[in-house]
Amino acid sequence: MRIAISGSHSLGKSTLVRDFQAAHPEFELLDEPYRELVAHHERIHFAERASQRCNRLMTQHAIDRINQARLHRPNTPLICDRSCLDFIPYSHYARAMGSSEGLPLQQRLTTAEVRPDMQEKNGLPFPSDINAAFIEELWRTITESQALSHYDLIAFVPLTGDPSRDPCMENDGIRSVERAYRDWVDVAFKQLYRHDLPNRSAGSCRVVEISGSRPDRVMQLERLIGMA
């Protein structure tokens, strides 16, 4: 059983991954690609500062690890923090808000770079080189890799609009905490899973949506994979 938890940031995905793995220690936990890459000294920009290099690197990392797990550890159950699809919505954000082919400047959202060592793009008029052609390249890379077929389940965590079900924004010292950024990316994830993926790669993997309280999410995931 290989599971990925997917969705916009600051929605409790990493908490769900760790809660589930704590309850089921037989599952190997694969951390967020960003964290694994930074541990190897890669520099990764976010939001309107994301680059083709950054999002290609994280996508390829997510692809490689699920494909390698399927090949070399086929009987090891896994739970992954993010799927290989996660960097498509973030690429749409970077294109819209940071690239030369994005929205008119007066319509763009801006986010603060909270990491002291990642300030070099501050003030650039177009801090991202992500464009429509690059997003199509990501789709081709993912579909040609067959990585999607190696997830038994992708659990998408959306915003519901209900304050009692949606987690509050948290400052983890890494990502910007602007609510509009999280909300915009959440809409892009909904477009990805509810429309784009079915149209582009129908039946490639099972996708479900999970929401609710912290314990409710674990129980939903357990039911979905037949553990409850």
CATH topology of domain 2-224: Rossmann fold (3.40.50)
pLDDT in tens, 90-145: 999 999 999 999 999 999 999 999 999 999 999 999 999 999 999 999 999 999 99
Q: Where are the domains of the chain?
A: 2-224
171-194 tens-digit pLDDT: 888 888 899 999 999 999 999 999
Segment 54-105, tens digit of pLDDT? 999 999 999 999 999 999 999 999 999 999 999 999 999 999 999 999 999 9
17-37 per-position pLDDT tens digit: 999 999 999 999 999 999 999
- List CB contacts of 13: < 8 A, sequence separation 6 or more: 5, 6, 7, 81, 82, 157
Closest by Cα among 165, 151, 131 to 63? 151
Task: Give the 3-state secondary structure of residue 67.
Answer: helix
Rounded Cα distance between 82 and 148, Å, is 12
Residue 228 pLDDT class (50, 70, 90 cuts): low
Query: Can you tell me whether residue 155 is helix, strand or coil?
Result: strand
pTM score over 0.75? yes
pLDDT at 186: 98
Q: Is the dihedral of CA 167, 227, 5, 77 positive or negative?
A: positive
